[in-house]
Amino acid sequence: MSRLLVTGGAGFIGSAIVRRAIADGHEVRVLDSLRADVHGDPQAVIADHEARGIAFVHGDVRERVALDAALDGIDVVCHQAAKVGLGVDFQDAPDYVSSNDAGTAYVLAGMDRLGIGRLVVASSMVVYGEGAYTTSTGEPVRPPARRREDLDAGRFDPIGPDGQPLVPGLIDESAALDPRNVYAQTKVAQEQLASSWARATGGRAVALRYHNVYGPGMPANTPYAGVASLFRSAIARGEAPRVFEDGAQRRDFVHVDDVAGANLASIAATDALPDDSFRAYNVGSGTVHTIGDMAAAIAGTAGLEPVVTGEYRLGDVRHVTASSARIADELGWRAEVDFERGMREFADAPLRAAVR
């Protein structure tokens, strides 16, 4: 068993990893800044961890004193601390870059300073931009960003050179990265920093490209949360979920408990990887659903019908679903929570209290 540091370990995904790691017998420490726009009363969060016997360091990964205290005596770092979501507007860009990219650089420098050579870092499927497509005749193609005039006209699907809608498929880890918003750019940079750290120090790093993660403990009523949280928050208010575009956007919804399992499998894998190595894995459920499917599954439990608005957000991609075959083949990990069961339980699962 390892002495594990989980950065961002008080967050939605980080908390699930902490629970799973403790159950698996790891010695766990948490480093979390407890940002005011994410968490409630910091002392209550710290007291809860201490009551469960979890060592907690309250601080930002960019603060050397807190970081070194958290890293002391650690075998492997599971780096989850990040600002997530598409954001409100471009004024969020400095916070994304500082929190995610500078934050990761500080973590990696600290690991080098203290001689820690194993890392698992949270990435995202957003690094691919639009996913894998073929033309109507079967030729592979990666479409450019969608044009505002097409979106305004309700033409949401990318169009091929023959004038026909492209056919979406599954993308794998060998595909070129194509980030299309600030958050996506920062996730690519985090991966590249981890790869550079591995080469420079002989370390072993795994990046996990999460798909749309959902489950108990998601943050409520925040523009930075995932679409599952926004829909679930609407249900809690007695309102029908509002679905952008036409609801046919293809996604892979993966339960947070499965994501925790992927992290634990990756932590174990870093012990066996060769030195100076970096490996990326897609982490999804393996089944494709639309955003409309998810909205209907959640709303149906409350007797509501989703409202399809036709609105859109620039920077959103139309379809992105990836193959999780590599992580299954190499690490033996597969998602266990199926869509129907997961959404049925999520429909009335508790969310993290909204922060105002």
Q: Would you name the residues annotated as active-site residues?
A: 183
Q: β-strand 307-308 against 242-243: which pairing, if any?
A: parallel
Q: Which two tokens stand for residue 289?
A: 């659903």
120 phi and psi, to 5 degrees? -120, 125
Strands, E assignment, the chain: 3-7, 27-32, 55-58, 76-79, 118-124, 133-134, 140-141, 167-168, 170-171, 204-210, 212-214, 242-243, 250-251, 253-255, 277-283, 289-290, 307-308, 321-322
Eight-state DSSP code of residue 337: S
Q: How far apart are CA 130 and CA 320, in angstroms?
A: 6
CA angle 48, 11, 329 (to 5 degrees): 120
Contact 227, 291 (CB under 8 A): yes
DSSP per-residue codes, 123-176: EEGGGGSS--EE-TTS-EE---PPPHHHHHTT--S-B-TTSSBPEE-EE-TTSP
- Total count of residues recorded for the chain: 356
Task: Count how many Cα atoms sit within 13 Å of the Cα of residue 122 in the half-sphere of its side chain.
Answer: 26
Of 185, 151, 158, which Cα lies nearest the Cα of 314?
Answer: 151
